[in-house]
A and B are shown apart, each in its own frame.
Chain A
């Protein structure tokens, strides 16, 4: 069974940084593209970033380019999202996804 478990969310001040992690199990992690998707409170879903199996290709939504970095460690079956220069509008639940399989999400709140 595919399992994706996010961690690392929390409260951070504007301009601060946070690193999200996603522990994957139940499938061959190194064989799949992986993604981050977010949902602001009361709002719709927004794709954030994708990363190729070997990490050689990465894609970002325009609003996070230059601030967020997606990465992975295939030896640890883990996906990461390094978030820098955080803004209030980055407040959201962040989901780790393997195609159409999603984790339960971790909440990031950016506030002073």
Chain B
């Protein structure tokens, strides 16, 4: 099993939209609707933002949305705000009760 592939960094200006990709294989991302996304501010624990590819937990802003095409999942943040600056991690179920994370993406709000 190899880690999922995420860009190391992305950036955007306030009010813009950005998309973070998460690429896996047909054995993980492409096989299940089980990709989740986590936001992590410096020195803090990760926070669940998206689960089961596209679902948003209660309390998470609707500016955050998830999608998937083939072996690549994506997290889109619309109407960027300064508070969105954080690291974002994707995670996928990989079968046999195993999970894979991506390397994480640092989002900078310019």
Please indicate whether A and B come from the same complex rather than being unrelated chains: no
Q: CB within 8 Å of B: which residues of A?
A: none
